[in-house]
Structure 1
Amino acid sequence: MTRPQWIVALVATVAVVAGAVALLTAGSGDAGVALSSSTSRHSVRLVVDSPRAGTTAIDVEVTGESSVDGVRIEPAMPHMGHAVRPATTAPAGRGRYRAENVLLEMSGQWEITVVVEDARGTERVIFPLLVS
């Protein structure tokens, strides 16, 4: 391994470890987890009631330059090859959406994709979530 490759590998390892520590801290206990991100048109906030194996409720708040036509939640556990049925959301106030009984089948690292649809198209935001 050349020196530049070694440095890249070291930086990548540090980033993965830092992310894992952040996720472990965020997912500890019975408290909900709140995560935020942005797309080119929207800011998205995801709140998971209980990040534990089984069913949970997920709230999504979307703000941005255009009104939202719909929001869908797509849970997946890519490293295990698991994807569960997308969860439809119900409006829960202006810019707020809620999905009840979202199935997170097992403990481990999940990816929760929030699909936001508006008049200009579809945007996806992927949130990492550690399920205990």
Structure 2
Amino acid sequence: MSAAVTTTRPTDHGLRSRRVLVAVGVAIAVVIAVAGWLVWPSPPAPVVLNSGTPHHLVTVTLDSVRLGAPAIEVTVTDRAGAPIDHGAVQIQAIQTLMGHAGQPITAVPSGEGRFRAAAVPLMMTGPWELRLSIDTHDCVEQLTLPLWVGG
């Protein structure tokens, strides 16, 4: 009697299946990497608020609007855009829902109509007001700017 001998050859089908699995795995890894990059938290960006009074244009820049004590820079110009260097600016942060008011902080002049307060405490999330008092020796003007503080 004779025995039948069978031989198996490697098929291209098995090799293709492995390549497809590798390609799918790479595609999934790329999608996860891109999604992670898109949702990764970025450092808070400065916030710029523009307003004015009858005599002045005012720009307020906060380092961030998160809990803490951000630095605040106030730029004051006359209505024609010329910087006001001869003056004083005070900033007071008020949490409107709780009625909490911090002490007014005197901003230090830094030239070309800019005044800087190194740290203005914002101790809780929610709505706040920044109340500015601008004393240019000719007049004292009050300005209130709304602000939302996040966590």
TM-score of Structure 1 vs Structure 2, range by shorter chain = 0.7 to 0.9
Q: Does 2:130 match 1:112?
A: yes
Taking the TM superposition and a 5 Å limit, the aligned residue runs for 1:1-132 are 30-64=44-78, 67=84, 68-132=86-150
Q: Aligned partners of 1:34 and 1:74: how far apart in 2?
A: 17
Q: Which has the higher contact order (CA 8 A, sep 6+)?
A: 1
Counterpart AA for 1:84: G
Q: What are the ranges of 5 or more consecutive residues in structure 2 without an aligned counterpart? A: 1-42
Q: Aligned partners of 1:118 and 1:55: how far apart in 2?
A: 26
Equivalenced residues, count: 105
Of 66-75 and 116-125, the range deviating more from structure 2? 66-75
Q: Aligned partners of 2:130 and 2:46: how far apart in 1?
A: 15
Q: Aligned partners of 2:45 and 2:118: how far apart in 1?
A: 17
Q: What are the ranges of 5 or more consecutive residues in structure 1 without an aligned counterpart? A: 1-28
Shift, 1:78, TM fit: 2.1
**1:124 aligned counterpart, secondary structure:** strand
Q: Aligned partners of 1:48 and 1:69: how far apart in 2?
A: 20
TM-score by length of 2: 0.65
The CA RMSD over aligned residues, in Å, is 1.8
Structure number with higher strand proportion: 1
Q: Rg larger in 1 or in 2?
A: 2
